[in-house]
Structure 1
């Protein structure tokens, strides 16, 4: 089957179930008759199936709230991958708000959109994230601030970790649980990826979304491993830079072990 035909079929299938699910999600948001986390998780799982992406989870996700999930970032696929495993909400770049389909679902999933390049807006953005954490919403932060090539970890930025401290100002919790998570792109077509192939699947910088989607479809099945690290309690008097370094060290160790096929 040609890549063009495979792409068209995938888009048609996703379109077939997306509109009805969006309507159900809108109903959930407006009426609270059902949890607004159910439909996004279902959509993510269905779409991963259409794309031929298989996800394996390792480790134990924390059930403690408030919770900030801190992960590395390789591709737009990371959102579908983490969203398929649990009812989470994302801290996303502001540009994503205008994306077709993904942007709409990001809004309906109650993502917080941030402008990382505008440092003056960081305190306001941190307060919005803090409110969501204090309300019990598990928030996903891609702490590198951008996407990498999947072969190495970029330094974590500590700015938005301040949201964890702000969430404790309401006195509704004694600490925020920071859960490190490593996303490893492991194989395609049943064969382990090398560095070049892994980088080709990543979505870096200003790369257009559609060509990357075609690359993913051509590589199917793609196997991705999500490994959960040890939860880190962030106390009201904790230091965000210390917590950032600890989370970064865990994610780097898990990513390295996943790429090498070893245990940690």
Structure 2
């Protein structure tokens, strides 16, 4: 199996719970409408001649948080600030909400499967937005992909990745794959871990926002928009300097360990120390 193409055992039927408390349908529709308006506004900016380069990062961060809030999800952002310059930003992957949440930490070039680049409209928008595409099913393409990532990092860009390679429900999580960490080592840039959890009115992890397995995007959108009292906890750990780890295996294990040591528990500051 390719290092980019792991599988997850989570499925909608076994892992995703319905929202315990829901809002009225008109309010859910209003939330989805607000999300669509914000996305259309962002798309309009991307399609301008200057595109993303004409928008300050501070505005992108706010816009990203607005998208999550428009969907009815509160955002609780804690921890360290993301440094300037080249940076590999990595996080566990639960939901489509993870993407704007990472952008709220620091706007970055996202990694995406190459199939998206071939979609008629979304592919053009993704390319204009700086997305880096991965040939996930071609192991022989791995060295070239790592080289492209390293080149982007050396240029001073932030690159955001979900090293699990697949979405998980949030209660279960997968190991961090090593390939993306090689790019950080080659470029000699820091790695910053972001831990994302979704809660529903209490300390226990909620799987309502999870987008896993054969789940459909419309079903996931409606489940999130109709849920009441969802909160996204985003914990940003201190960046790991490029000289702290010397091989991708130890770097991936050290950064990924924090994702697996406290499933369903309250966040611990000690888990953010390497």
Check whether TM > 0.5: yes
Match of 1:192 among 202, 212, 234: 202
2:199 is the alignment partner of 1:210 = no
- Aligned partner of 1:48 among 68, 72, 85: 68
Distance in 1, matches of 2:147 and 2:236, equals 26
Structure 2 match to 1:238: 246
What is the DSSP-based 3-state SS (H/G/I as helix, E as strand, rest coil) of the residue aligned with 1:44?
Answer: helix
Equivalent position of 1:171 in the other structure:
none
Q: Cα gap change, 1:103/1:43 in structure 2, threshold over 3 Å: closer, same or farther?
A: farther
For the aligned residue pairs, the C-alpha RMSD in angstroms reads: 3.0
**Pairs aligned (count):** 247
Instruction: Give SS of 1:233's match.
Output: coil
1:260 aligns with 2:271: no
Partner residue of 2:230 out of 212, 215, 222 = 222
Residue in 2 that maps onto 1:127: 147
Given that 2:193 and 2:236 are in contact with CA atoms closer than 8 Å, whether structure 1 keeps it comes out as: yes
Which has the larger share of helix? Answer: 1
Aligned mates of 2:28, 2:52 — CA distance in 1: 36
Cα distance in 1 for residues equivalent to 2:220 and 2:160: 23
* Counterparts of 2:56 and 2:115, CA distance in 1: 23
**TM, length-normalised to structure 1:** 0.80
Q: How much has 1:134 moved relative to structure 2?
A: 0.8
Determine the structure 1 residue equivalent to 2:99: 79
- The verdict on how the C-alpha distance between 1:107 and 1:203 changes in structure 2, with shifts beyond 3 A counting, is same
Distance in 2 between the 1:80 and 1:98 partners? 22
Cα distance in 2 for residues equivalent to 1:225 and 1:90: 20
Deviation at 1:52, TM superposition (A): 0.8
Q: Measure the CA separation in 2 of the matches of 1:30 and 1:226.
A: 28
Tell me if structure 2 keeps the 8 A contact 1:179–1:232. Answer: yes
| Alignment correspondent of 1:58 | 78
Unmatched segments (≥5 aa) in structure 2: 1-22
Q: Does 1:182 align with 2:172?
A: no
- 1:16 alignment counterpart: 37
Shift in Å, 1:36: 6.5
Please say which of residues 36-45 and 223-232 is displaced more in the overlay.
36-45
Whose relative contact order is higher, 1 or 2, with alpha carbons under 8 Å and at least 6 apart? 2
Q: Hey, what's the Cα distance between the residues in 1 that align with 2:106 and 2:149?
A: 18
2:172 is the counterpart of 1:152: yes
